[in-house]
Structure 1
Amino acid sequence: MNWRIKTHIAPLAGLLLGALLLGGCGGDYGPDQHGTQVGAKTLDKQWLVINYWAVWCGPCRREIPELNALSQSLEGQGVRVIGVNFDNLQGDELSAAAKTLGIDFTVLAQDPAPRFELPRSQALPVTYIIDAQGKVRDQLLGEQTAAGIKARLIALQRGEG
């Protein structure tokens, strides 16, 4: 083997191995509003309803009971409702805000937007529907109902996109 090839293969192999190892570790979603780590295995390969909310957003506050009901009704059906605070609250602030609003579903402290290539919305609330392969299937602007989101999910799952 040519010495030039050998000197280039070793560093590349090291980089590849490092990327593979870090990829496995970096796959988690970070802590939720209770400080519990949300592992990739709990959310990946499921449909996700990702809702962005803020404490100061009136429609967001009105929507929370609908999202709680949706989350409960979808339990065990391969669909998870996930919240993300628009203002990037962390730790105790995030926990207090989620408790104040009565959020029962998982709220991620780390924004999953980069993972799914979600655009930063200029309006709230905004809800994204992500399929089991991690592809964004829909963006719903404004206040939603559990029935409306569920109907949209069913249509998307049937391929009626």
Structure 2
Amino acid sequence: MARVIRWVMAGLGALLLAACGADAGLDQHGRKVTAASLEGQWLIINYWAQWCGPCRHEIPELNALDRSLQGSGAQVLGVNFDGLQGEALSKASAEMGIEFRVLASDPAPRYSLPPSQVLPVTYIVAPDGRVHAQLAGEQTADGLREKLAAARQAQ
């Protein structure tokens, strides 16, 4: 019996580890988002919608932030609040002028992101997957850089 329990526990552990390393689906261009491209990175995850005025206003700030973070161990990821997929997600991202990567799959379960009742909402997630900040409302590139620096210091 003990042998069976050890076998079952080992199997469950392997499944949990595999799930943690699972790829994050596709982006707005239909490209696979690998777990390796997210692991060890600080993530600035922004939820947006086409009908959200403040979302539209902050997109250029997020584009600038993502460009400035290249090679720094941090990146901006977008998530469409309405759950658009495929061509609809690609079209909406282009229409919004989004240059950073937009995930077709919601990463909330992967990072245990708390729900938000407002848009836009931005989360700062540490390389270990812990949420350091939930920021409601429109953000600026400078403000997010400051919050990211503070989170890195606290780490």
Q: Any stretches of 5+ residues in structure 2 without a counterpart?
A: none
Runs of 4+ in 1 over 2 A off after TM superposition: 8-11, 13-18, 20-24
Matches within 5 A, 1:11-160: 12=8, 15-16=11-12, 19=15, 22-23=18-19, 27-159=22-154
Higher Cα radius of gyration? 1
Q: Out of 124-133 and 15-24, give the one that drifted further.
A: 15-24
**1:62 is aligned with what amino acid?**
H
In structure 2, relative to structure 1, the CA distance for the partners of 1:136 and 1:13 (3 Å cut) is closer
User: What is the RMSD computed on CA atoms of the aligned residues?
Assistant: 2.0
**1:96-133 Cα shifts (integer Å, max 9, x gaps):** 00000010000000000001111221100000000111
Give the TM-score normalised by structure 1: 0.88
Give the TM-score normalised by structure 2: 0.92
Q: Any stretches of 5+ residues in structure 1 without a counterpart?
A: none
